[in-house]
Amino acid sequence: MSLEDRRERGTQLLQKMLGAEQAEQTLQHWKQICPEFGDYVVEFLSGEIWSRPQLDRRIKSLVTIATLAGLGRTRALDLHIRMATRNGATRQDITETLLHIAPYAGFPASWEALAQVDMVFSESDSTSSAE
C-alpha cells in the first residue's frame, strides 16, 4: 500500500472516529505544533494500526483508553474517550474498563481517568441539551 493510500485511509478513519469538523481541527492543531507529527498519526497510527481488521474499533478504543489512563496521558485520553463513543463504546464500557485497571495501573490513575470520563460526558450532555 502506498503512502498516499495510507494517508487517505487514515484521514477517512479519523473523520469517522472524530467527526469531520473535530478531525480537521485536531489535524490542524497537530500541523501547527509539528507537521510531521500529524503526518505520522494519519499515515501510521490511523492508516495502519487503527485500520487493521483483527480487532473492532470499540475494542481498540477500550484498550487505548486503558493504556492512556495507566500512563496518565490525559490529553490523549480525552480525545480517545470522545472517539470511543463514535466507535460503539458506551459510557458504561469505558467506566468498567477504567475500574478494571485500578488494581493494575493504580487507583489514582483510575480515579483521574474516571474524572476525565465524567467531564467529557458532562460536556456532551450539556451540549446535547442545549441543542
Domains in the chain: boundaries: 1-53, 55-131
Residue-wise pLDDT for 91-108, tens only, equals: 999 999 999 999 999 999
The answer to whether the CB of 87 falls within 8 A of the CB of 58 is: yes
CATH fold label, 55-131: AhpD-like (1.20.1290)
pLDDT tens for 10-64 read: 999 999 999 999 999 999 999 999 999 999 999 999 999 999 999 999 999 999 9
Angle between helices 57-71 and 107-130 (to 10 degrees): 120
Does pTM top 0.85 for this prediction? yes
Residue 47 parent element (H or E): none
